[in-house]
Amino acid sequence: METSATSADVDVLAEYVKERGGKRVIRKILIANNGMAATKAILSMRQWAYMTLGDESALQFVAMATPEDLNANAEFIRLADEYVEVPGGSNKNNYANVDVIVSVAKQQKVDGVWPGKDPDTIRSDRIGSDLVAQQLPLQANPS
């Protein structure tokens, strides 16, 4: 009896990476930011996965969430596949805290970290991204 591979048997994300000469699949992403930036990032990456791979679930998202985000029932948390609660208060306690980001990334065994892009904090995000990249065995995505 002849059988054909089903879409469940084919790792479309791995195939996509291989076809383009990549060596590492980024499947699980830590969202190390909140608010509209995080919401837009998740929606955009899910749309890319659907349009490119035919599967909006090809990427998995872990969101960092403060108690304030949870109390507000923030949309980015609902869009993520899972979340990890981090300390509340100012960003130095959570989204701008490299130690917290690295700790969560290691604990969740993510393949990549999305630190966010906000016009007012691009420089600090870039510095923070570089610091995170230096502490994790992740490849940086040049931008």
| pLDDT tens by residue, 119-131 | 444 334 444 555 5
Q: Report the distance separating Cα 133 and Cα 143, nearest Å.
A: 14
CA distance 32 to 116: 7
Strand order in the sheet with 112-114: 82-85, 60-65, 28-31, 112-114
Residue 16 has pLDDT above 80, yes or no: yes
Instruction: Check residue 138 and give its pLDDT.
Output: 52
- pTM for this entry: 0.78
How does pLDDT run across 93-112, given as a tens digit for each residue? 999 898 999 999 999 999 98
Task: Say how far apart CA 22 and CA 15 lie, in whole Å.
Answer: 10
- Whether the pLDDT of residue 38 is over 90: the answer is yes
